Amino acid sequence: MTTERTLIVSGSVSASSIGSAIWPPPLIWPEAEPGDNLDYYLDVTQPLAAVNDSIAHVAVAITPVGTSEMTADALGYAGYVIGLRLAGGIAGRLYTVVIQATGKSGRIWQWNVKMPIGRTFMQYPPPLPTS
């Protein structure tokens, strides 16, 4: 498991606005380059273990979608760690990766993770997403 591409989800604190700060802070994976095909991980031990739940099923959705946009080539989990392989993407684009886990209790958990793609190989004007 690659540590720099592993995000650890904090405990059972709900998202709320504290002045101009957002808690918990947004989840953001490190910038990738177009054409990368890399594994990413989301460690959800804290929130699930806090309520004595465990993962039964995982799903992923990525936006925007369309030709040459980012895709999830693999998805799975081991214990409390969700793993996925992200591939492709358009230079300069910021993707939202929505990861949903259904616990054995039936509870549905969802995390939105931002995935930036580097601008190094960006073409102008950048193509508009289809969604």
Any domain includes 92: yes
Q: Which of 73, 68, 96 is nearest to 85 (CA)?
A: 73
Any domain includes 123: no
- Residue 20: pLDDT above 80? no
Any domain includes 122: no
Any domain includes 94: yes
Domain residues for the domain of 46 are 3-13+28-116
Reported as a single tens digit per residue, the pLDDT across 71-120 is 999 999 999 999 999 998 999 999 999 999 999 999 999 999 999 998 87
Tell which wins on pLDDT, 7 or 40: 40
Any domain includes 19: no
Structural domains in the chain (count)? 1
CATH number at residue 41: 2.60.40
Any domain includes 18: no
Any domain includes 35: yes
Q: For residues 46 and 10, is the Cβ–Cβ distance under 8 A? A: yes
What is the model's pLDDT at position 18?
A: 41
Q: Which of 61, 59, 55, 49 is nearest to 106 (CA)?
A: 55
Type of residue numbered 106: G
Residue with tokens 């409390």: 80
Regarding pTM above 0.85, the answer is: no
What is the model's pLDDT at position 4?
A: 57
